[in-house]
A and B are shown apart, each in its own frame.
Chain A
């Protein structure tokens, strides 16, 4: 890599990858992207182990391994880690690596702040996870932090709240950096409507992040003052309302779930055209669909709380607004399918994960549509059906897209190809086991098995056993991924600059591995 960096007119030298100083002080978008991605993977394993503890306890009915309090703190921590520690950092890592290369920039717009966005995360998560060892245990009220339950947390409480503030700070700074980069660092000729969709989806994601992370910060601040400073925001006796917290949380939470999926749409929109050997169908409609999804995400939040006793008008409004989201999402899915229509398709690992994404994300979308119906949601609310729904959009959705992105761009990052056979094995094992884990949850959910309870009625046993077997299979399949990535970095076959036969975009005009500073002289975009 260092040979490429020498023709750089900045007189900096790229330090050895084994120097700790390089990684701690770095202001380079690629270094920071790498840090984000590895951090995300480590957290994925930690959050995954928590999921396996949950599944182990649920393998059969009755209380076997953990006490209910610990079980509940596992569901809470698993969620917080997977949302804030895995999917969001992975996307920010991809953004760091890819956006400057895709728009023809040298680096991110605000490199020092970029470093801080990352280096907050290890501290924030250390704080968060340390609460498991405190008096009263970790937070056990669910990641949604509903009062008054969450206010019963022991010593962990202020640590959790402040850790969330800290993570929010990181997200906001990361998002500001993305927006400043996209708006200000594009190469001449790279107009907005020429940007790759990954850049577009991230631009809109960053906007959502800046709009809603402060809302979460405000909400959790009120929790803190309610517990320690005598305020009554969520206390009916003082004129407040616990439901107010749910409104605040989901005003953040619904855009947040799109923050977790929109960059995936960008990834899939990059991968499908490459392996279908056709340009993306309906580029402009993809951009507008992303914008519409972002807009709608602000007016659907109360579909998470149909059962709190809202006025009928509220139920109806949020039901119809939610169902509207199916329109832009459908536009996207049909565009991907139309892109593949009569394409000269090949099925390398990134393509397999992308195809898996389209099919399984759509399953999750459909169960979402079912949940959007207020009358039937009274049946589904807080059951495993909800768990099945959001895991379908997050695991074979977001996580598959992240994995697809890693396989797709890894040769550009490290200069070497990964092992295709093992990649395909990873795909098939992941796909089989992810369905074995989450598909049965639809059935137990519809039959009435509640979420977040460590024990269950006998009739749910078979499906829960399947889910547990699937979860362990999925977990161990990810170790193949780790092996494939490390093997590619250390000893893979050399990749060409183009890497993929039909890949389009500025990043493929750079050498593989990409030079330390992406475009020191801006490329000309036709």
Chain B
């Protein structure tokens, strides 16, 4: 139990949460109406998104200001650590569902549809002659989305793996520099990390265009396309978020915000980035390689 000389900081009311609720609710109502083909759906989404961004800036801004005024003792710091740790755990579980679906499709649904084990009568009566093989013929017996080719692991995906793994190294280098109070190295390290992340996103975007345009592989390509794009898509979204967070941290470093002893903002984003990195390794192995 840490008990710093100053006491645990408890804010006295905050208007950011209710702004966040209104923003997210507007965003969701807009999105739902957009899906229902209602004309005011997408403008409402944009308004909601703007409110959410306003909340994010305001809320994090408040926390950063309070932090710079030294209002947080070590115990508050520890609360943030637990909060971030469990948030990342929840993200792990979110990815786990999509990995689980991938494993289920490969281990059960495709083999069963092809007549293995208990699926023998399903195959004989419903999908006669279907022999699903992963990854080439895994868009189901109805060939949903049409013929497609998959993306081989040892091309762009391998490059992307190298990019992300290197970014993990540069980020760790930046962290060591921060602890040793070498500001220039810190900023170079962070900058390199962000640059690698952005290049990763470009490569991923190029791969998506290639898949859609040349390979016939789309989100609608049966279970293969669904698991491929949902897994890599959510990962890409997380890389984007992580890169934005890193950019904020870079600006904060340039403003001289962190000390070699206290820099949980930096560490939280570093944890997040490494988490995104590990998810990518899982993707590379289970989505691309095997």
The yes or no answer to B225 lying at the interface (CB within 8 A) is: yes
Check A25/B10 contact, CB under 8 A, given A113-B83, A232-B222: no
B229 to chain A: closest residue by CB: A231
Using Cβ atoms and an 8 Å threshold, which residues of chain A touch B22?
123
B109 and A112 contact, CB distance less than 8 A: no
Kindly state the interface size class of chain B when it binds its partner: 35 or more
Assess whether B223 is interfacial by the CB under 8 Å rule: yes
Taking each of B16, B94, B142, which has the highest tally of chain A beta carbons within 10 Å of its own beta carbon? B94
The 7 closest A-B pairs by CB, nearest first: A218-B97, A239-B140, A230-B220, A116-B17, A231-B226, A237-B142, A239-B223
Q: CB-defined interface of B116-127 with A at 8 Å, one 1/0 digit per residue?
A: 011000000010
**Closest residue of A by beta carbon distance from B226:** A231
CB-defined contacts of A141 to chain B, threshold 8 Å: none
Question: Which residues of B in the span 1-42 have a Cβ within 8 Å of any Cβ on A?
Answer: 1, 3, 7-8, 10-18, 20-22, 24-25, 28-29, 31-32, 35-36
Interface residues of B in 127-141 (CB under 8 A from A): 132, 138-141
Contact of B93 with A by CB under 8 A: yes
Instruction: Judge whether B118 and A311 touch: CB under 8 Å.
Output: yes
Q: What 1/0 flags go to A99-138 for Cβ under 8 Å of B? A: 0000000110111110110011011101100000000000
Q: Judging by beta carbons under 8 Å apart, are A231 and B11 in contact?
A: no
* Besides the known contacts A21-B13, A212-B93, A238-B223, 6 further A-B residue pairs in the complex with CB atoms under 8 A apart: A127-B29, A232-B226, A233-B227, A238-B222, A247-B104, A522-B3
Complex interface: chain A residues within 8 A of B80 (CB) = 110
Within 8 Å CB of A239, what residues of B? 105, 109-110, 113, 132, 138-141, 144, 222-224
Contact B79 A184 (CB under 8 A): yes
Write 18 A-B pairs (CB below 8 A) sorted by A numbering.
Answer: A24-B15, A25-B15, A107-B10, A110-B80, A112-B11, A158-B35, A176-B83, A183-B82, A212-B93, A218-B98, A230-B218, A232-B140, A232-B226, A238-B144, A239-B139, A239-B141, A241-B104, A244-B109
Chain B residue contacts of A323, Cβ below 8 A: none
B101–A520 CB distance below 8 A: no
Contact indicator A240/B109 (Cβ below 8 Å): yes
**Contact indicator A218/B94 (Cβ below 8 Å):** yes
B31→A162 contact, CB < 8 A: yes
B93 partner, pick from A183, A210, A232, A517, beta carbons under 8 A: A210
A248 touches B113 (CB 8 A): no
- B205 adjacent to chain A (CB < 8 Å): no
A215 at the interface (CB under 8 A from B): yes
Q: Contacts A212-B93, A230-B218, A240-B140 given: A184-B78 contact, CB under 8 Å?
A: yes
A27 touches B12 (CB 8 A): yes
In the complex the two chains form, what is the Cα distance from A217 to B95 in whole Å? 10
**How many angstroms between the C-alpha atoms of A355 and B223 in the bound complex?**
51
In A168-206, the 8 Å CB interface with B consists of 169, 172, 175-177, 179-181, 183-188
Shortest Cβ gap from B242 to chain A (Å) = 17
Interface residues in chain A, defined as those with a beta carbon under 8 Å from any beta carbon in chain B: 9-10, 12, 21-22, 24-28, 106-107, 109-113, 115-116, 119-120, 122-124, 126-127, 155, 158-159, 162-163, 165-166, 169, 172, 175-177, 179-181, 183-188, 210-215, 217-219, 221-222, 224-225, 228-233, 235-241, 244, 247-248, 251, 309, 311, 517, 520, 522
Q: How far is the CA of A176 from the CA of B82 in the complex (A)?
A: 8
Interface of B is mostly: helix
Interface presence of B86 (CB below 8 A) = yes
Nearest CB in chain B to that of A217: its residue: B94
Q: With both chains docked as a complex, state the minimum distance between the C-beta of A310 and any C-beta of chain B, in angstroms.
A: 8
User: Knowing A184-B75, A239-B140, A311-B118 touch, does A112 contact B17 (C-beta < 8 A)?
Assistant: yes
CB contacts (< 8 Å) of B141 on chain A: these are: 236-237, 239
Known: A222-B101, A238-B144. A232 touches B10 (CB 8 A): no
Assess the B140–A27 pair: CB atoms within 8 A. no
A10 is contacted by which of B12, B35, B108, B230 (Cβ under 8 Å)?
Answer: B12
Cβ distance A242 to chain B, nearest Cβ, rounded Å: 10
List, in ascending order, chain A residues with CB within 8 A of B140's CB. 232, 235-240
Contact assessment for B83 and A123 in the assembled complex, using a CB-CB cutoff below 8 Å: no
Min distance, Cβ B99 to any Cβ of chain A, angstroms: 10
A179 to B104, CA, bound (A): 32
Q: Could you say which of B3, B35, B110, B226 contacts A233, with CB atoms under 8 Å apart?
A: B226
Residues in A whose Cβ lies below 8 Å from that of B91: 214
| A123 with B89, Cβ < 8 A, contacts A186-B1, A222-B230 known | no
- Cβ of B276 to closest chain A Cβ, rounded Å: 15
Contacts of A109 in B (CB 8 A): 79, 82-83
Closest residue of B by beta carbon distance from A178:
B86
**Within 8 Å CB of B15, what residues of A?**
24-25
Cα distance, A180 to B218, chains bound together (Å): 42
Closest Cβ of chain A: how far from B70's Cβ, in Å?
Answer: 17
Highest count of chain B CB atoms <10 Å: which of A10, A122, A126, A184:
A184
Contact, CB under 8 Å: A225 / B230: yes
Give A108 Cβ to nearest chain B Cβ, in Å: 9
Do residues A214 and B226 form an inter-chain contact, with CB atoms below 8 A? Answer: no
Does B216 belong to the interface (CB within 8 Å)?
no
What residues of chain A lie closer than 8 Å to B224, measured between beta carbons?
239
Across the interface, name the chain A residue whose C-beta is closest to B62.
A112
CB closest chain-B residue, reference A312: B118
Which of A120, A186, A210 is the one whose CB lies under 8 Å from B24? Answer: A120
| Contacts A215-B96, A225-B219, A235-B144 given; does A24 touch B83 at CB 8 Å | no
| CB nearest neighbor in A for B118 | A311
Q: Does B87 contact A (CB under 8 A)?
A: yes
Compute how far the CA of A520 lies from the CA of B117 in the bound complex, rounded to whole angstroms.
64
Q: Please report the C-alpha to C-alpha distance between residue A305 and residue B28 in the assembled complex, in whole angstroms.
A: 32
Whether B219 lies near A231 (C-beta < 8 A) is yes
A416 to B164, CA, bound (A): 61
Complex alpha-carbon distance, A251 and B17, angstroms: 30
Measured CB to CB, the closest approach of chain A to B143, in angstroms, equals 9
A188/B36 in contact, CB under 8 A? no
B82 CB contacts on chain A under 8 angstroms: 109, 176, 179-180, 183-184
